[in-house]
A and B are shown apart, each in its own frame.
Chain A
Amino acid sequence: MSLLDVQDLSVVFHSKGREDVRAVDGVTFEVRSGEIVGLVGESGCGKSVTSLALMGLLPPRGVKTGGKAIFDNGVDLLRTDQRTMRDLRGREIAMIFQDPLSSLNPVVPIGDQVTEVLTRHRGMKGEAAKKEAELLLDRVGIPDPRRRLKEYPHQLSGGMRQRALIAMAVACRPRLLIADEPTTALDVTIQAQILELLKELVHQDGTAMVMITHDLGVVAGLCDWINVLYAGRVVETAGRHALFAKPTHPYTHGLLSSIPRLDSVRGERLNPIPGSVRDLLPWLEGCAFAPRCDRVTEACVEGPPELTGGAHAFRCVNPVLEESGQDEAALYSREVSGAIE
């Protein structure tokens, strides 16, 4: 039974005098209870827009969403009314944002911001809310929570801020957590700690999580299922081990060969993908990745490729078919245990 079932999600931005932008185009994925699903792609591939669409946080004007996103009890997150959505947000579905500094109100102490959620969804007030907030901060690993509650965001370190935001997100033990690049603004050691924390919290509460990132190193150690996005469409979807062992879409393959591995030979060069996301073909004409792909053939530009291949699906007419056979996920992983041991 899936907790969130996203079907054919599309988001189109209209603006006067310009062509419509299809930021997300027919994205389909599902999240089961307690599962961590990754949405991976480079900037502009539509991953953040997907998360905002699911939370109903896209601006009301100039945006058209299509498809369905059925949450647990049958509520379509894309079509439901504001009131229901407000009750769901924070209690059933919560989100963690990329930049912890700008996501916290600079003139309100941390404690007030945490208790606000508790008051809203759990009806806690005064001393009880304060106590609970303290426990929450303690739970996300903020030392001396009583003192921290009175402090302002600028007094906390980056990692601490992200921990506070996470505390707010998990305050009501939501069933789905959407993490939009939660570690991008942090330095590497803190990144590992935050990922470890998220993993732990999700595991303890049985929360499902959608992890949005551009960093394959992040998903390697964390996600059960991974969707790779390119130009608004899913180009490859597979379980973690399958994806890392056998990256089939040339884009995924390119991404993996462009990041360093723990077992790579000294002095070996990385292979970046040439070009940028802007060099794309509209999906209707062919594969959007074709202009940057080193395996491009005539067939690539003859209409849009379909998602094929069953459980480990990919959207490519000329896939990479080499297989390493071993579990490679660990070699890319950014986990603390892997990095320090």
Chain B
Amino acid sequence: MTALARKKIAKLERLAELAAVHSKEQGESLWREALKRVRRNPSAIVGASILGVFILIAVLGPFLVPYDPGQIGVGIPFGLEVKEGQAIYPGPNSEFWLGLDHQGRDMFSRMIVGARQTLLVGVVATAIGLTLGCLIGGIAGAAYGLGGKRGRTIDNVLMRFIDMLLAMPSLLLAISLVALLRPSLMTVMIAVGFISVPIFARLLRGAMIAQSNAEYVVAATSLGVHKRKIALSHILPNSIAPVLVQATLTLATAIIEAAGLSFLGLGNPDSSQAEWGTMLADGLFNSRFDYAPHLALFPAIGIIITALGFTLLGEAMREALDPKLRK
């Protein structure tokens, strides 16, 4: 090669490098780019704002309440209405913004404190489902993708177990679990978490199997990298995106399902701890819905808005992480 040619190449390479630096910003991982796309999506912003407010309320709840949410009869000094021979606590007014429930507790305070319970149930239940599901799905996916004949057997055993869980209607499964374990807050979280295990397991397994045929897996194999290492540091990071999206969406369903269990009377039996699902049930069954519909309405609206927030954010994340939708 002549000196001239060498110089030319060096120059070209410098130019190419400069161009590359300017066309793409530096140090951007897949996640950071996804985050950027999420931020540009209006529904994500709405979802995130809802969740932001929700989390803020959940965290600061006890400092925001005007009355003790557990104290029965705070409203009595302000007078009761009597309808059809039944004492009814007054509805929303300047003193009690959302009215009083059937035991005379301040609804506004209970809604605020209930946010924390609701968030806790959602997060813990999803975490339980995510952990168990990823464990089962990850092992099954890695075994199927890389483990040869024996791997397929392992995958088969694990997946038939998951199929069994899937075969049962999820709420029914949760109800039987709660009945088995005695109702308490922890039981609700375990039950709701448990029914989301199959979703996570199947999702991660599918993604991992798809990834295990990817060329970079073959390339890593050709360099003698151990199978376990390939599964953990190559296949798993590439398969986790759909699972995380699903986790966001599951947070929404977990909140709804936990509320559903409470609604059916299988929630936290200690009603001094406010929880939206229990409040909804109280509003429907323990007070006069025809005279005080707001007692059921407010918890329901709370649940709907929160679930909506998680769903919007989850959908936006799905869009951001889906390579097919990338521009």
Contacts and interface: CB of A to CB of B under 8 A. Distances in A.
B2 A341 contact: yes
Contacts of A108: 233-234, 237
B84 interface: no
A97 B219 contact: yes
Contact of B223 (A155, A156, A169): A169
B5 A341 contact: yes
Interface in A79-124: 86-91, 94-95, 97, 99, 102-109, 112-113, 116-117, 120-121
B contact face: mostly helix, strand, loop, or mixed = helix
Contact of A121 (B17, B148, B221, B224): B224
B237 A143 contact: no
B12 A189 contact: yes
Interface stretch (B26-34, B40-48, B156-164): B26-34
Interface residues of A, number: 48
Contacts, number: 110
Interface stretch (B51-59, B115-123, B210-218, B282-290): B210-218
B252 to A, nearest CB: 26
B220 interface: yes
A143 B20 CA distance: 13
Nearest to A190: B16
Contacts of A90: 222-225
Contact of A336 (B5, B24, B221): B5
A200 to B, nearest CB: 10
Contacts of A196: 1
A303 B298 CA distance: 87
A107 B148 contact: no
Nearest to A95: B222
Contacts of A105: 216, 220, 234, 237-238
A55 interface: yes
B226 interface: yes
B223 A89 contact: yes
Contacts of A86: 224, 226
B185 to A, nearest CB: 37
A302 B16 CA distance: 56
Given A94-B223, A95-B222, A336-B1, 6 more contacts: A57-B222, A90-B222, A97-B215, A168-B219, A340-B2, A340-B5
Q: Which 4 A-B pairs have the closest CB atoms?
A: A90-B224, A90-B223, A89-B224, A103-B219
13 contacts: A55-B222, A103-B218, A106-B30, A117-B224, A120-B223, A120-B225, A121-B224, A152-B28, A157-B17, A168-B219, A168-B223, A336-B9, A337-B1
